[in-house]
């Protein structure tokens, strides 16, 4: 099982080649406050001085440190065949450059940090990858994170605390990571910032290991026995105490090996019963064991994740398509596919069915039978007509003669006014269908023919052709719908079969009215008697004491009554005859309006389908070919977008990396490591 860690290192190398962190690999994240001894712990595990030192925030970028154990006989050789060293390091960003001088490694870490993070003590979440090969290390993958700080110092950003905490949480939130929480022994464990932040993402402590540093710097008369025994802060993976080199030791160039020997002597003297369960060497073995078991537990989920991503990137790469070889065939294929998908979306047979909302033919059907149908049904047959309007129309239709019957002209005048109101919702129906056919273009571009995304100019040209075709058909369809309403207005067919019942009602009412009037007529009065009484004579219109026109001195019209000055009452009670006349007209208007509305509700969708929808469907393919399939346009239309080639390469590289990772995991099964 020891070989599991090199397998993870190999997986890390695979994904480093594509610069991706989409796979969360098992690793150990080192967390602690500034000056808690984090760097000393890491250097003790490596056995060499390699990390930058200083005050304030020194670690300003995550350092992913891979320790690779090599046998002493596998030491790297130089080009002359001589021994060059048994320990060396490699950075990912310097490719194949080999570093055997660990001072150069430290300097390169500082240079790379300043290159990305600047020299103002700011931090960056872009990691530095360093791999150390040595016969003195155990296989481990560690992530050195910036030390937790509270107060910005110097020219540090004001929110440096928040930045660092967010960066730490990003790494330790990885469920495949082990948290190495570093706390100094000369501080109160109950207030440990490292353990506090670890508990935010690992409340049960199942993947947290505590390291207590600076055991030799505790106050006189105190010790860390209770802490190391887990009586103060229990941690499930345990607590391990270590002794670091002091700053004086570092200044005096005390080696890590000498420091480890002194650490062992200190533990034997101060904590003899716990010496074999503490110290740097025990920490390295424990981390190695924990990481191996953790890797073993994570591999099944890791394998499933890699397989899912491989399938996704395979699909993504397929959507990008292959480089174009035959331009004519490719253009014709894309045009045909778009036209087919456009028509299929209208017919409801498209490959990609929208589930969030109605689309294509389904929405057109909804417009016809729900939107348009309900709008027509909401139109009141008598809307906008008052009783006075109807009575006025009846009177105007009779001219100067009082009528005995309801004039038919008044009915036609009023019903045409009401039928005209059906034109606006009918034209709005055309507009809604036109808008939906525009939306189908975008739907096909986004879901059905993703290949068009490769060729933005071709996509724009197709959209322009289809939009132009729809634009040309819109006025033709509007004209037809306008004519449908005009046809209804051109001839009021009172002999319509559905109108017969309404006419019968009107005839019955008229006949009844005629009989009533005949019964109410008084006996004939002699003409001369009528004249002596002034009835039927224009003189009867004059008030008492007024002279007839032309009868007085002066003006011949002196004393005449000006009828235009007589005010007309705004509202009055209708006579029984007027009431009956209005009711008859209202019933006739309503009956005929419903007949016309039914015709319009049936004929408008048919006209829209014929003149707009079906015409576009039938002519779309030929229109696209005629406008775009030209030799002079091939190169321009099939020019890929600037980033398409780059995206195809990135997807291909990622797919290759995932396939390699899958092979690595398969090898683990074959060698029974898992």
> 511: burial class by Cβ within 10 Å (0-12, 13-18, 19+)?
exposed
How much is the pLDDT for 459? 85
How much is the pLDDT for 589? 86
Closest CA to 40 of 147, 121, 114, 126: 147
pLDDT class of 530 with cuts at 50, 70, 90? very low
523 vs 490, more confident = 490
- State the CB neighbour count (10 A cutoff) for residue 620: 21
Predicted confidence (pLDDT) at residue 374 exceeds the cutoff of 70: yes
How much is the pLDDT for 79? 43
How much is the pLDDT for 50? 83
300 vs 468, more confident = 468
Q: What are phi and psi of 29, to 5 degrees?
A: -100, 125
Q: Which of 135-144, 188-197, 478-487 has the highest mean pLDDT?
A: 478-487
The position carrying tokens 């309404």 is 502
How much is the pLDDT for 61? 87
pLDDT class of 546 with cuts at 50, 70, 90? very low
How much is the pLDDT for 366? 92
Torsion sign, CA atoms 191, 195, 201, 203: negative
Predicted confidence (pLDDT) at residue 77 exceeds the cutoff of 60: no
Strands 140-144 and 128-134: unpaired
Predicted confidence (pLDDT) at residue 80 exceeds the cutoff of 70: no
pLDDT class of 435 with cuts at 50, 70, 90? very high
Report d(CA 615, CA 607) in Å as an integer: 11
575 vs 565, more confident = 575
Predicted confidence (pLDDT) at residue 73 exceeds the cutoff of 70: no
Strands 63-69 and 140-144: antiparallel
Torsion sign, CA atoms 286, 57, 18, 132: negative
Report d(CA 646, CA 644) in Å as an integer: 5
Predicted confidence (pLDDT) at residue 579 exceeds the cutoff of 80: no
pLDDT class of 186 with cuts at 50, 70, 90? confident
Report d(CA 92, CA 132) in Å as an integer: 12
In the three-class reduction of DSSP (H, G, I as helix; E, B as strand; rest coil), residue 10 is classed as helix
How long a stretch of residues is the chain?
674
- What letter does residue 401 receive in the DSSP assignment? S
**Are 116 and 28 a contacting pair, CB within 8 Å?**
no
Q: Which of 12-16, 47-51, 232-236, 262-266 has the highest mean pLDDT?
A: 262-266
> How do residues 588-634 score in pLDDT, each as one tens digit?
888 889 999 999 999 999 999 999 999 999 999 999 999 888 888 88
Report d(CA 443, CA 408) in Å as an integer: 54
Among 178-182, 355-359, 611-615, 665-669, where is mean pLDDT lowest?
665-669
Among 242-251, 339-348, 510-519, 550-559, where is mean pLDDT lowest?
550-559
> How do residues 489-522 score in pLDDT, each as one tens digit?
998 887 888 776 656 665 666 566 656 656 665 5
How much is the pLDDT for 601? 93
> How do residues 333-372 score in pLDDT, each as one tens digit?
888 888 988 998 888 887 766 667 788 888 999 999 999 9
Predicted confidence (pLDDT) at residue 116 exceeds the cutoff of 50: yes
Predicted confidence (pLDDT) at residue 108 exceeds the cutoff of 70: yes
Provide mean pLDDT across the span 173-199: 88
Strand partners, 208: 179
**Are 253 and 246 a contacting pair, CB within 8 Å?**
no
663 vs 2, more confident = 663
Predicted confidence (pLDDT) at residue 576 exceeds the cutoff of 60: yes
Q: Tokens in use for 422?
A: 């059906």
| H helix or E strand, kind and range, residue 131 | strand 128-134
**Are 354 and 443 a contacting pair, CB within 8 Å?**
yes
**Are 652 and 317 a contacting pair, CB within 8 Å?**
yes
**Are 378 and 385 a contacting pair, CB within 8 Å?**
no
How much is the pLDDT for 404? 60
610 vs 118, more confident = 610
In the three-class reduction of DSSP (H, G, I as helix; E, B as strand; rest coil), residue 142 is classed as strand
**What is the pLDDT of the chain when averaged over all its residues?**
79
231 vs 549, more confident = 231
600 vs 26, more confident = 600
310 vs 55, more confident = 310
How much is the pLDDT for 528? 44
How much is the pLDDT for 631? 80
How much is the pLDDT for 556? 45
| H helix or E strand, kind and range, residue 32 | strand 27-32
Predicted confidence (pLDDT) at residue 557 exceeds the cutoff of 90: no
Provide mean pLDDT across the span 666-673: 60
315 vs 182, more confident = 182
Closest CA to 109 of 169, 187, 192, 49: 49
Provide mean pLDDT across the span 443-455: 71
**Are 462 and 433 a contacting pair, CB within 8 Å?**
no
Q: Which of 152-166, 439-453, 519-533 has the highest mean pLDDT?
A: 152-166
Report d(CA 424, CA 48) in Å as an integer: 86
Q: What are phi and psi of 213, to 5 degrees?
A: -100, 170
Provide mean pLDDT across the span 237-245: 89
How much is the pLDDT for 536? 39
How much is the pLDDT for 622? 92
Provide mean pLDDT across the span 434-459: 80
Please report, for residues 232, 352, 462, 463, the alpha-carbon distance to residue 444 in angstroms, rounded to integers and kept in the order given.
Answer: 65, 9, 11, 10
């Amino acid at each position: 099982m020891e070989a599991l860690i090199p397998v993870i290192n190999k997986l890390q190398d695979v994904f480093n080649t594509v610069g991706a962190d989409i796979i969360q690999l098992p690793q150990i994240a080192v967390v602690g406050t500034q000056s808690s001894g984090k760097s000393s712990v890491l250097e003790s595990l490596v056995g060499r001085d390699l990390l930058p030192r200083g005050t304030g925030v020194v670690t300003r970028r995550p350092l992913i440190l891979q320790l690779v154990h090599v046998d002493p006989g596998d030491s790297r050789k130089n080009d002359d065949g001589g021994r060059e060293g048994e320990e060396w390091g490699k950075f990912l960003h310097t490719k194949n450059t080999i570093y055997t001088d660990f001072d150069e490694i430290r300097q390169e870490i500082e240079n790379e940090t300043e290159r990305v993070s600047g020299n103002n003590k700011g931090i960056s979440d872009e990691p530095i990858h360093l791999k150390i090969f040595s016969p003195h290390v155990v296989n481990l993958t560690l992530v050195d994170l910036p030390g937790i700080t509270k107060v910005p110092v110097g020219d540090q950003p004001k929110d440096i605390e928040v930045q660092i905490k967010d960066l730490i949480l990003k790494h330790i939130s990885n469920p495949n990571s082990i948290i190495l929480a570093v706390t100094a022994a000369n501080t109160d464990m109950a207030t440990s910032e490292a353990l506090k932040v670890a508990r935010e993402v690992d409340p049960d402590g199942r993947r947290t290991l505590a390291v207590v540093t600076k055991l030799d710097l505790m106050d006189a008369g105190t010790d860390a026995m209770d802490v190391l025994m887990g009586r103060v802060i229990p941690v499930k993976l345990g607590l391990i105490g270590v002794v670091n080199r002091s700053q004086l030791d570092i200044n005096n160039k005390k080696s890590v090996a000498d420091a480890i020997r002194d650490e062992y002597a200190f533990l034997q003297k101060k904590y003899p019963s716990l010496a074999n369960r503490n110290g740097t060497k025990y920490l390295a073995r424990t981390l190695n064991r924990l990481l191996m078991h953790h890797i073993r537990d994570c591999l099944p989920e890791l394998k499933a994740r890699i397989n899912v991503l491989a399938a996704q990137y395979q699909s993504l790469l397929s959507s990008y398509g292959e480089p174009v070889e035959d331009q004519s065939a490719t253009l014709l294929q894309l045009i045909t596919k778009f036209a087919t998908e456009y028509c299929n979306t209208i017919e409801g047979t498209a490959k990609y069915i929208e589930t969030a909302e109605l689309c294509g033919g389904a929405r057109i059907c909804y417009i016809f039978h729900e939107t348009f149908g309900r709008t027509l049904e909401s139109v009141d047959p008598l809307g906008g007509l008052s009783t006075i309007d109807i009575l006025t129309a009846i009177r105007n239709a009779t001219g100067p003669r009082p009528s005995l019957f309801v004039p038919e002209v008044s009915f036609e005048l009023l019903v045409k006014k009401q039928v005209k109101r059906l034109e606006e919702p009918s034209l709005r129906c055309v507009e809604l269908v036109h808008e939906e056919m525009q939306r189908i273009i975008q739907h096909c571009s986004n879901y059905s023919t993703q290949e068009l995304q490769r060729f933005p100019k071709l996509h724009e040209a197709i959209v322009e052709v289809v939009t132009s075709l729809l634009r040309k058909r819109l006025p033709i369809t509007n004209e037809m719908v306008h004519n449908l309403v005009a046809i209804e207005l051109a001839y009021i067919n009172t002999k319509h079969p559905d109108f017969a019942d309404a006419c019968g009602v009107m005839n019955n009412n008229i006949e009844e009215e005629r009989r009533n009037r005949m019964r109410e007529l008084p006996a004939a009065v002699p003409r001369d008697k009528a004249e002596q009484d002034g009835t039927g004579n224009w003189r009867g219109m004059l008030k008492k004491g007024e002279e007839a026109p032309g009868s007085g001195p002066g003006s011949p019209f002196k004393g005449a009554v000006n009828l235009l000055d007589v005010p007309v009452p705004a509202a009055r009670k209708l006579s029984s005859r007027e009431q009956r006349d209005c009711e008859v007209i209202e019933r006739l208007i309503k009956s005929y309006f419903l007949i016309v509305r039914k015709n319009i509700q049936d004929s408008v969708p048919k006209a829209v389908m014929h003149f707009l929808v079906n015409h576009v469907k039938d002519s779309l393919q030929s229109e696209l070919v005629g406008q775009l399939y030209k030799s002079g346009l091939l190169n321009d239309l099939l020019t890929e977008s600037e980033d398409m080639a780059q995206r195809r390469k990135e997807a291909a590289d990622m797919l290759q990396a995932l396939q390699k990772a899958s092979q690595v995991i398969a090898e683990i099964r074959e060698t029974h490591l898992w």
